[in-house]
Amino acid sequence: MKFILVSLDDDPARLERYVAERKFAMPVARFSREQAANVFNVHDTPTTFYVDASGTIRYQVTGVEPHGDAVDRVTWYIETLKAQRN
Amino acid sequence: MRTKSAEQKLIAAARTPATAAEAHYWLGRIYDFKGNKAEGAFPGFHEEVSFRPRAEAEFKLAGTPKPEWIAEGEAVENALKAADAALAKQQATPNAPASQIRAAIEARIKARPDPMTYVAGANALLARNGDLPFVLRLAADGRVVGDRFIWENESSYKLDGKVRGSLDRNAAVFADIAGWALFLQGDLQTAEQRLAEAARLYRNVDATNQLHLAELSRKKNDLETAREHYLTALGLAGITPPQRDQARVALADVQAKSGENPADFEKWLAATLDRKREERRKALVSNMAGRRLPALGLKDLQGNNVDLRAERGNVVLLNFFSAW
Protein backbone atom coordinates (compact mmCIF):
# COMPACT_ATOMS: atom_id res chain seq x y z
CA MET A 1 0.00 0.00 0.00
CA LYS A 2 1.39 3.36 -1.03
CA PHE A 3 0.09 6.87 -0.44
CA ILE A 4 1.19 9.63 -2.78
CA LEU A 5 0.14 13.24 -2.49
CA VAL A 6 0.28 15.52 -5.51
CA SER A 7 0.06 19.23 -4.92
CA LEU A 8 -1.42 21.37 -7.67
CA ASP A 9 -0.46 24.63 -6.00
CA ASP A 10 0.77 27.62 -7.97
CA ASP A 11 2.35 29.22 -4.92
CA PRO A 12 5.34 27.21 -3.63
CA ALA A 13 5.63 29.28 -0.46
CA ARG A 14 2.07 28.53 0.58
CA LEU A 15 2.58 24.83 -0.20
CA GLU A 16 5.75 24.71 1.92
CA ARG A 17 3.97 26.29 4.87
CA TYR A 18 1.13 23.80 4.52
CA VAL A 19 3.42 20.75 4.24
CA ALA A 20 5.52 21.91 7.19
CA GLU A 21 2.39 22.36 9.27
CA ARG A 22 0.82 19.01 8.35
CA LYS A 23 4.02 16.90 8.56
CA PHE A 24 2.79 14.37 5.97
CA ALA A 25 4.28 10.89 6.32
CA MET A 26 4.06 10.25 2.56
CA PRO A 27 5.81 11.79 -0.43
CA VAL A 28 4.41 15.06 -1.69
CA ALA A 29 4.94 15.62 -5.40
CA ARG A 30 4.24 18.78 -7.35
CA PHE A 31 2.43 19.08 -10.62
CA SER A 32 0.94 22.02 -12.47
CA ARG A 33 -2.83 22.33 -12.88
CA GLU A 34 -2.41 22.30 -16.64
CA GLN A 35 -0.37 19.08 -16.56
CA ALA A 36 -2.85 17.46 -14.16
CA ALA A 37 -5.67 18.24 -16.58
CA ASN A 38 -3.73 16.95 -19.60
CA VAL A 39 -2.16 13.84 -18.13
CA PHE A 40 -4.56 12.76 -15.38
CA ASN A 41 -7.77 14.44 -16.53
CA VAL A 42 -7.96 16.03 -13.09
CA HIS A 43 -9.66 19.43 -13.03
CA ASP A 44 -10.63 19.85 -9.38
CA THR A 45 -9.08 19.33 -5.99
CA PRO A 46 -9.41 17.28 -3.95
CA THR A 47 -9.41 14.34 -6.33
CA THR A 48 -8.33 10.89 -5.23
CA PHE A 49 -7.44 7.92 -7.43
CA TYR A 50 -7.55 4.46 -5.89
CA VAL A 51 -5.26 2.34 -8.06
CA ASP A 52 -5.23 -1.48 -7.96
CA ALA A 53 -2.13 -3.67 -7.97
CA SER A 54 -2.22 -4.02 -11.76
CA GLY A 55 -1.88 -0.25 -12.17
CA THR A 56 -5.51 0.41 -13.18
CA ILE A 57 -7.35 3.34 -11.63
CA ARG A 58 -10.37 1.65 -10.10
CA TYR A 59 -12.13 4.47 -8.28
CA GLN A 60 -11.99 8.21 -8.63
CA VAL A 61 -13.44 10.38 -5.92
CA THR A 62 -13.69 14.08 -6.63
CA GLY A 63 -14.69 16.51 -3.92
CA VAL A 64 -16.31 15.34 -0.73
CA GLU A 65 -18.80 12.48 -0.67
CA PRO A 66 -22.16 13.36 0.83
CA HIS A 67 -22.20 10.44 3.23
CA GLY A 68 -19.98 8.41 5.48
CA ASP A 69 -17.03 9.16 7.68
CA ALA A 70 -13.81 10.05 5.83
CA VAL A 71 -11.51 7.51 7.52
CA ASP A 72 -14.02 4.70 7.09
CA ARG A 73 -14.50 5.65 3.48
CA VAL A 74 -10.82 5.72 2.56
CA THR A 75 -10.31 2.45 4.44
CA TRP A 76 -13.17 0.86 2.53
CA TYR A 77 -11.65 1.69 -0.87
CA ILE A 78 -8.21 0.45 0.15
CA GLU A 79 -9.46 -2.77 1.75
CA THR A 80 -11.72 -3.46 -1.24
CA LEU A 81 -8.80 -3.20 -3.65
CA LYS A 82 -6.44 -5.18 -1.42
CA ALA A 83 -8.96 -8.03 -1.17
CA GLN A 84 -9.45 -8.32 -4.92
CA ARG A 85 -7.89 -10.95 -7.13
CA ASN A 86 -6.04 -9.60 -10.10
CA MET B 1 -23.18 -22.02 -15.40
CA ARG B 2 -19.93 -23.16 -13.77
CA THR B 3 -18.39 -23.00 -17.20
CA LYS B 4 -14.70 -23.02 -16.37
CA SER B 5 -14.98 -25.92 -13.90
CA ALA B 6 -17.19 -27.88 -16.27
CA GLU B 7 -14.80 -27.31 -19.17
CA GLN B 8 -11.84 -28.59 -17.15
CA LYS B 9 -13.72 -31.74 -16.07
CA LEU B 10 -14.91 -32.41 -19.61
CA ILE B 11 -11.41 -32.01 -21.05
CA ALA B 12 -10.25 -34.63 -18.54
CA ALA B 13 -13.18 -36.92 -19.40
CA ALA B 14 -12.40 -36.58 -23.12
CA ARG B 15 -9.08 -38.35 -22.49
CA THR B 16 -10.84 -41.54 -21.31
CA PRO B 17 -12.12 -43.56 -24.28
CA ALA B 18 -15.31 -44.67 -22.49
CA THR B 19 -16.44 -41.08 -21.80
CA ALA B 20 -14.70 -39.28 -24.67
CA ALA B 21 -17.62 -39.01 -27.12
CA GLU B 22 -20.06 -37.59 -24.58
CA ALA B 23 -17.41 -35.22 -23.16
CA HIS B 24 -16.72 -33.87 -26.66
CA TYR B 25 -20.46 -33.38 -27.18
CA TRP B 26 -20.82 -31.27 -24.00
CA LEU B 27 -17.63 -29.33 -24.79
CA GLY B 28 -19.18 -28.63 -28.18
CA ARG B 29 -22.32 -27.32 -26.45
CA ILE B 30 -20.25 -25.03 -24.19
CA TYR B 31 -18.14 -23.69 -27.07
CA ASP B 32 -21.26 -23.26 -29.21
CA PHE B 33 -22.75 -21.13 -26.42
CA LYS B 34 -19.56 -19.09 -26.07
CA GLY B 35 -19.15 -18.68 -29.81
CA ASN B 36 -22.73 -18.20 -30.99
CA LYS B 37 -25.18 -17.66 -28.14
CA ALA B 38 -23.40 -15.67 -25.43
CA GLU B 39 -24.08 -12.18 -26.85
CA GLY B 40 -26.24 -10.45 -24.25
CA ALA B 41 -27.26 -13.79 -22.67
CA PHE B 42 -26.16 -12.27 -19.34
CA PRO B 43 -25.24 -8.64 -18.61
CA GLY B 44 -21.79 -7.91 -20.06
CA PHE B 45 -21.56 -11.18 -22.06
CA HIS B 46 -20.22 -11.24 -25.63
CA GLU B 47 -19.92 -14.04 -28.15
CA GLU B 48 -16.36 -15.11 -28.86
CA VAL B 49 -15.79 -15.82 -32.53
CA SER B 50 -12.73 -17.95 -31.80
CA PHE B 51 -14.96 -20.58 -30.16
CA ARG B 52 -17.00 -21.31 -33.31
CA PRO B 53 -14.43 -23.58 -35.00
CA ARG B 54 -13.71 -25.19 -31.64
CA ALA B 55 -17.38 -26.04 -31.22
CA GLU B 56 -17.43 -27.62 -34.68
CA ALA B 57 -14.31 -29.63 -33.92
CA GLU B 58 -15.76 -30.95 -30.65
CA PHE B 59 -19.07 -31.94 -32.28
CA LYS B 60 -17.09 -33.77 -34.97
CA LEU B 61 -15.13 -35.71 -32.34
CA ALA B 62 -18.38 -36.54 -30.52
CA GLY B 63 -19.95 -38.13 -33.59
CA THR B 64 -23.73 -38.49 -33.73
CA PRO B 65 -25.07 -37.45 -30.32
CA LYS B 66 -26.95 -40.15 -28.44
CA PRO B 67 -30.64 -39.35 -27.76
CA GLU B 68 -30.07 -39.64 -24.00
CA TRP B 69 -27.46 -36.84 -24.04
CA ILE B 70 -29.90 -34.52 -25.77
CA ALA B 71 -32.67 -35.61 -23.41
CA GLU B 72 -30.46 -34.89 -20.39
CA GLY B 73 -29.84 -31.34 -21.58
CA GLU B 74 -33.53 -30.79 -22.22
CA ALA B 75 -34.46 -32.16 -18.79
CA VAL B 76 -32.20 -29.61 -17.09
CA GLU B 77 -33.63 -26.77 -19.18
CA ASN B 78 -37.21 -27.87 -18.49
CA ALA B 79 -36.58 -28.08 -14.73
CA LEU B 80 -35.23 -24.51 -14.81
CA LYS B 81 -38.20 -23.26 -16.81
CA ALA B 82 -40.64 -24.91 -14.38
CA ALA B 83 -38.87 -23.40 -11.34
CA ASP B 84 -38.78 -19.98 -13.05
CA ALA B 85 -42.50 -20.19 -13.78
CA ALA B 86 -43.32 -21.19 -10.20
CA LEU B 87 -41.34 -18.22 -8.84
CA ALA B 88 -42.89 -15.81 -11.36
CA LYS B 89 -46.35 -17.00 -10.32
CA GLN B 90 -45.61 -16.23 -6.66
CA GLN B 91 -44.23 -12.80 -7.60
CA ALA B 92 -47.36 -11.99 -9.58
CA THR B 93 -49.68 -12.98 -6.73
CA PRO B 94 -50.32 -9.79 -4.69
CA ASN B 95 -51.05 -11.54 -1.39
CA ALA B 96 -48.64 -14.44 -1.74
CA PRO B 97 -47.38 -15.32 1.74
CA ALA B 98 -43.63 -14.87 2.31
CA SER B 99 -43.26 -18.56 3.13
CA GLN B 100 -44.52 -19.57 -0.34
CA ILE B 101 -42.29 -17.03 -2.09
CA ARG B 102 -39.35 -18.33 -0.08
CA ALA B 103 -40.13 -21.93 -1.03
CA ALA B 104 -40.25 -20.95 -4.72
CA ILE B 105 -36.91 -19.09 -4.43
CA GLU B 106 -35.28 -22.04 -2.69
CA ALA B 107 -36.57 -24.47 -5.33
CA ARG B 108 -35.21 -22.28 -8.14
CA ILE B 109 -31.82 -21.96 -6.43
CA LYS B 110 -31.73 -25.73 -5.99
CA ALA B 111 -32.38 -26.20 -9.71
CA ARG B 112 -29.48 -23.88 -10.50
CA PRO B 113 -28.07 -21.09 -8.34
CA ASP B 114 -28.16 -18.18 -10.81
CA PRO B 115 -27.32 -14.74 -9.37
CA MET B 116 -30.49 -13.22 -10.88
CA THR B 117 -32.68 -15.51 -8.76
CA TYR B 118 -31.14 -14.09 -5.61
CA VAL B 119 -31.83 -10.53 -6.79
CA ALA B 120 -35.38 -11.17 -8.02
CA GLY B 121 -36.25 -13.29 -4.97
CA ALA B 122 -34.90 -10.72 -2.50
CA ASN B 123 -36.75 -7.90 -4.27
CA ALA B 124 -40.04 -9.85 -4.22
CA LEU B 125 -39.72 -10.26 -0.44
CA LEU B 126 -38.54 -6.66 0.14
CA ALA B 127 -41.55 -5.31 -1.76
CA ARG B 128 -43.78 -7.17 0.73
CA ASN B 129 -41.58 -6.50 3.77
CA GLY B 130 -41.54 -10.29 4.24
CA ASP B 131 -38.97 -12.65 5.80
CA LEU B 132 -36.17 -10.06 6.05
CA PRO B 133 -33.68 -12.48 7.70
CA PHE B 134 -33.99 -14.67 4.60
CA VAL B 135 -33.46 -11.59 2.39
CA LEU B 136 -30.20 -10.89 4.25
CA ARG B 137 -29.12 -14.48 3.64
CA LEU B 138 -29.98 -14.16 -0.05
CA ALA B 139 -27.88 -10.97 -0.18
CA ALA B 140 -24.87 -12.66 1.44
CA ASP B 141 -25.11 -15.87 -0.61
CA GLY B 142 -25.98 -14.00 -3.81
CA ARG B 143 -22.81 -11.94 -3.61
CA VAL B 144 -20.70 -15.13 -3.43
CA VAL B 145 -22.70 -16.87 -6.17
CA GLY B 146 -22.46 -13.80 -8.41
CA ASP B 147 -18.70 -13.50 -7.97
CA ARG B 148 -18.30 -17.18 -8.81
CA PHE B 149 -20.56 -16.87 -11.84
CA ILE B 150 -18.43 -14.01 -13.19
CA TRP B 151 -15.13 -15.84 -12.68
CA GLU B 152 -16.52 -19.09 -14.14
CA ASN B 153 -17.54 -17.20 -17.28
CA GLU B 154 -14.67 -14.73 -17.31
CA SER B 155 -13.81 -14.93 -20.99
CA SER B 156 -17.38 -14.07 -22.03
CA TYR B 157 -16.75 -10.58 -20.62
CA LYS B 158 -13.77 -10.27 -23.00
CA LEU B 159 -12.05 -7.36 -21.34
CA ASP B 160 -10.60 -7.42 -17.86
CA GLY B 161 -12.17 -4.03 -17.17
CA LYS B 162 -15.59 -5.53 -17.85
CA VAL B 163 -15.01 -8.36 -15.41
CA ARG B 164 -14.07 -5.80 -12.77
CA GLY B 165 -17.12 -3.70 -13.59
CA SER B 166 -19.35 -6.77 -13.35
CA LEU B 167 -17.82 -7.78 -10.01
CA ASP B 168 -18.43 -4.26 -8.66
CA ARG B 169 -22.00 -4.29 -9.93
CA ASN B 170 -22.62 -7.70 -8.38
CA ALA B 171 -21.27 -6.53 -5.01
CA ALA B 172 -23.31 -3.32 -5.29
CA VAL B 173 -26.60 -5.10 -6.04
CA PHE B 174 -26.36 -7.30 -2.97
CA ALA B 175 -25.00 -4.55 -0.67
CA ASP B 176 -28.05 -2.44 -1.59
CA ILE B 177 -30.46 -5.35 -0.98
CA ALA B 178 -28.87 -6.06 2.41
CA GLY B 179 -28.88 -2.35 3.29
CA TRP B 180 -32.56 -1.96 2.50
CA ALA B 181 -33.50 -5.12 4.43
CA LEU B 182 -31.56 -3.77 7.43
CA PHE B 183 -33.35 -0.42 7.08
CA LEU B 184 -36.72 -2.20 7.12
CA GLN B 185 -35.56 -4.10 10.20
CA GLY B 186 -34.76 -0.76 11.88
CA ASP B 187 -30.96 -1.14 12.04
CA LEU B 188 -30.20 2.28 10.55
CA GLN B 189 -26.48 2.30 11.28
CA THR B 190 -25.60 -0.96 9.54
CA ALA B 191 -28.12 -0.16 6.82
CA GLU B 192 -26.29 3.10 6.08
CA GLN B 193 -22.93 1.31 5.85
CA ARG B 194 -24.23 -1.19 3.33
CA LEU B 195 -26.15 1.38 1.26
CA ALA B 196 -23.12 3.70 1.17
CA GLU B 197 -20.96 0.75 0.12
CA ALA B 198 -23.37 0.08 -2.76
CA ALA B 199 -23.29 3.77 -3.72
CA ARG B 200 -19.49 3.73 -4.02
CA LEU B 201 -19.54 0.56 -6.12
CA TYR B 202 -22.30 2.00 -8.30
CA ARG B 203 -20.38 5.30 -8.48
CA ASN B 204 -23.60 7.00 -7.36
CA VAL B 205 -25.46 6.25 -10.59
CA ASP B 206 -28.11 3.78 -9.43
CA ALA B 207 -31.52 5.36 -8.82
CA THR B 208 -32.89 2.66 -6.49
CA ASN B 209 -29.80 2.86 -4.31
CA GLN B 210 -29.94 6.68 -4.21
CA LEU B 211 -33.61 6.52 -3.18
CA HIS B 212 -32.77 4.06 -0.42
CA LEU B 213 -30.08 6.42 0.88
CA ALA B 214 -32.52 9.33 0.65
CA GLU B 215 -35.19 7.46 2.64
CA LEU B 216 -32.65 6.52 5.27
CA SER B 217 -31.43 10.12 5.61
CA ARG B 218 -35.02 11.34 5.89
CA LYS B 219 -35.69 8.80 8.62
CA LYS B 220 -32.64 10.15 10.47
CA ASN B 221 -33.98 13.68 9.90
CA ASP B 222 -30.82 14.56 7.96
CA LEU B 223 -32.68 16.72 5.45
CA GLU B 224 -29.61 18.03 3.65
CA THR B 225 -28.29 14.56 2.78
CA ALA B 226 -31.79 13.34 1.91
CA ARG B 227 -32.15 16.27 -0.51
CA GLU B 228 -28.85 15.42 -2.26
CA HIS B 229 -29.83 11.78 -2.77
CA TYR B 230 -33.34 12.59 -4.04
CA LEU B 231 -31.85 15.07 -6.48
CA THR B 232 -29.24 12.56 -7.64
CA ALA B 233 -31.93 9.91 -8.15
CA LEU B 234 -34.16 12.34 -10.08
CA GLY B 235 -31.29 13.23 -12.39
CA LEU B 236 -30.55 9.62 -13.35
CA ALA B 237 -31.78 8.07 -16.59
CA GLY B 238 -32.47 4.72 -14.89
CA ILE B 239 -35.20 6.01 -12.56
CA THR B 240 -38.65 4.44 -13.16
CA PRO B 241 -41.78 6.63 -13.39
CA PRO B 242 -43.19 5.41 -10.01
CA GLN B 243 -39.80 6.07 -8.40
CA ARG B 244 -39.76 9.56 -9.92
CA ASP B 245 -43.19 10.34 -8.48
CA GLN B 246 -42.19 8.99 -5.11
CA ALA B 247 -38.96 11.03 -5.10
CA ARG B 248 -40.74 14.27 -6.08
CA VAL B 249 -43.30 13.93 -3.30
CA ALA B 250 -40.61 13.11 -0.74
CA LEU B 251 -38.37 15.95 -1.93
CA ALA B 252 -41.23 18.46 -1.72
CA ASP B 253 -41.72 17.31 1.86
CA VAL B 254 -38.00 17.76 2.60
CA GLN B 255 -38.08 21.29 1.14
CA ALA B 256 -41.18 22.22 3.15
CA LYS B 257 -39.58 20.89 6.33
CA SER B 258 -36.47 22.95 5.53
CA GLY B 259 -38.63 26.10 5.49
CA GLU B 260 -38.75 26.58 1.70
CA ASN B 261 -41.85 28.03 0.07
CA PRO B 262 -43.87 25.21 -1.61
CA ALA B 263 -44.82 27.63 -4.41
CA ASP B 264 -41.17 27.79 -5.52
CA PHE B 265 -40.68 24.02 -5.59
CA GLU B 266 -41.13 23.24 -9.30
CA LYS B 267 -38.95 26.11 -10.45
CA TRP B 268 -36.25 25.29 -7.92
CA LEU B 269 -36.31 21.61 -8.87
CA ALA B 270 -35.96 22.26 -12.61
CA ALA B 271 -33.06 24.69 -12.11
CA THR B 272 -31.29 22.42 -9.62
CA LEU B 273 -31.61 19.32 -11.84
CA ASP B 274 -30.18 21.29 -14.79
CA ARG B 275 -27.20 22.35 -12.72
CA LYS B 276 -26.65 18.81 -11.41
CA ARG B 277 -26.86 17.33 -14.88
CA GLU B 278 -24.11 19.64 -16.06
CA GLU B 279 -21.96 18.76 -13.03
CA ARG B 280 -22.46 15.06 -13.65
CA ARG B 281 -21.65 15.36 -17.32
CA LYS B 282 -18.37 17.04 -16.46
CA ALA B 283 -17.59 14.44 -13.80
CA LEU B 284 -18.32 11.54 -16.18
CA VAL B 285 -16.19 12.97 -18.96
CA SER B 286 -13.25 13.40 -16.63
CA ASN B 287 -13.62 10.13 -14.69
CA MET B 288 -10.50 8.00 -15.01
CA ALA B 289 -11.90 4.81 -13.41
CA GLY B 290 -10.99 1.79 -15.52
CA ARG B 291 -8.02 3.53 -17.16
CA ARG B 292 -4.37 2.73 -16.61
CA LEU B 293 -2.54 5.06 -14.29
CA PRO B 294 -0.31 7.15 -16.58
CA ALA B 295 3.29 5.98 -16.22
CA LEU B 296 4.87 9.24 -15.36
CA GLY B 297 7.81 10.28 -13.27
CA LEU B 298 7.02 12.96 -10.69
CA LYS B 299 9.38 14.84 -8.40
CA ASP B 300 8.73 15.32 -4.73
CA LEU B 301 9.47 18.56 -2.88
CA GLN B 302 13.02 17.41 -2.10
CA GLY B 303 13.65 16.69 -5.78
CA ASN B 304 13.50 12.88 -5.43
CA ASN B 305 11.81 10.85 -8.15
CA VAL B 306 8.34 9.48 -7.43
CA ASP B 307 7.94 6.74 -10.03
CA LEU B 308 4.34 5.60 -10.47
CA ARG B 309 5.43 2.59 -12.56
CA ALA B 310 7.45 1.26 -9.63
CA GLU B 311 4.22 0.87 -7.68
CA ARG B 312 2.82 -2.03 -9.76
CA GLY B 313 1.87 -4.76 -7.32
CA ASN B 314 0.84 -2.20 -4.72
CA VAL B 315 -2.52 -0.63 -4.07
CA VAL B 316 -1.93 3.11 -4.49
CA LEU B 317 -3.85 6.08 -3.18
CA LEU B 318 -2.97 9.09 -5.30
CA ASN B 319 -4.45 12.30 -3.92
CA PHE B 320 -4.39 15.58 -5.83
CA PHE B 321 -4.76 18.50 -3.47
CA SER B 322 -4.11 22.17 -3.08
CA ALA B 323 -3.07 23.93 0.10
CA TRP B 324 -5.54 26.32 1.62
Q: How close, in Å, is residue B284 to chain A by CA atoms?
A: 10
Strand ranges (E), chain B: 297-299, 305-307, 316-321
Q: In the prediction, which pLDDT does B174 show?
A: 97
Residue A48 forms beta bridges with which residues? Answer: A61, B319
For residue A67, is pLDDT > 70? no
Q: How far is CA B59 from the centre of its chain?
A: 34
Contact state of B164 with A56 under an 8 Å Cβ cutoff: yes
- Judged by DSSP in three states, A4 sits in strand
Residue range B159-211, pLDDT digits in tens: 666 788 888 899 999 999 999 999 999 999 999 999 999 998 998 889 999 99
Backbone angles phi, psi at B2, to 5 degrees: -90, 70
Helix B188-201 and helix B207-219, axial crossing angle in degrees, nearest 10: 150
Q: In the prediction, which pLDDT does B171 show?
A: 95
Task: Report the residue of chain B nearest A50, measured CA to CA.
Answer: B317
Percent of chain B with pLDDT over 70: 99
Residue A19 exposure: Cα atoms within 13 Å on the Cβ side: 22
* Other CB atoms within 10 Å distance of the CB of residue A1: 12
Q: Closest CB to B287: pick one of A60, A73, A82.
A: A60
Q: How far apart are CA B243 and CA B159, in angstroms?
A: 33
Contact state of B317 with A50 under an 8 Å Cβ cutoff: yes
For residue B97, is pLDDT > 90? yes
Residue range B175-185, pLDDT digits in tens: 999 999 999 99
Q: Closest CB to A60: pick one of B288, B300, B315.
A: B288
Contact state of B319 with A46 under an 8 Å Cβ cutoff: yes
Q: In the prediction, which pLDDT does A66 show?
A: 54
Q: In the prediction, which pLDDT does B146 show?
A: 95
Q: Look up the pTM and report it.
A: 0.77
Task: Give me the amino acid identity at B294.
Answer: P
Q: In the prediction, which pLDDT does A74 show?
A: 85
For residue A55, is pLDDT > 80? yes
Preferred mutation among B160, B320, B321, B324 to probe A, highest tally of A CBs within 10 A: B320
Q: Closest CB to B299: pick one of A18, A30, A76.
A: A30
Q: In the prediction, which pLDDT does B141 show?
A: 97
DSSP letter string, A9-78: -S-HHHHHHHHHHHT-SS-EEE--HHHHHHHH---SSSEEEEE-TTSBEEEEEES--SSS-HHHHHHHHH
pLDDT band at B113 (very low <50, low <70, confident <90, very high): very high
Residue (of B268, B277, B209) closest to B239 by Cα position? B209
Please check whether residue B318 is in contact with residue A26, taking contact to mean a CB–CB distance below 8 angstroms. no
Q: In the prediction, which pLDDT does B46 show?
A: 87
Assess: ipTM above 0.85: yes
Average pLDDT over chain B, rounded to an integer: 91
Q: In the prediction, which pLDDT does B316 show?
A: 92
Residue range A4-43, pLDDT digits in tens: 999 988 888 888 888 888 888 888 998 888 888 888 888 8
Backbone angles phi, psi at B186, to 5 degrees: 95, 5
Q: In the prediction, which pLDDT does B241 show?
A: 93
Residue range B123-133, pLDDT digits in tens: 999 999 999 99
Q: In the prediction, which pLDDT does B160 show?
A: 60
Percent of chain A with pLDDT over 90: 12
Preferred mutation among A4, A16, A64, A85 to probe B, highest tally of B CBs within 10 A: A4
Q: In the prediction, which pLDDT does B170 show?
A: 93
pLDDT band at B307 (very low <50, low <70, confident <90, very high): confident
Q: In the prediction, which pLDDT does B302 show?
A: 83
Q: How far is CA B40 from the centre of its chain?
A: 15
Q: In the prediction, which pLDDT does B251 show?
A: 96
Q: Which residues of chain A lie closer than 8 angstroms to B287, CB-CB?
A: 41, 60
Residues in Cβ contact with A34 at an 8 Å cutoff, skipping those fewer than 6 apart: none
Mean pLDDT value of segment B213-222: 95
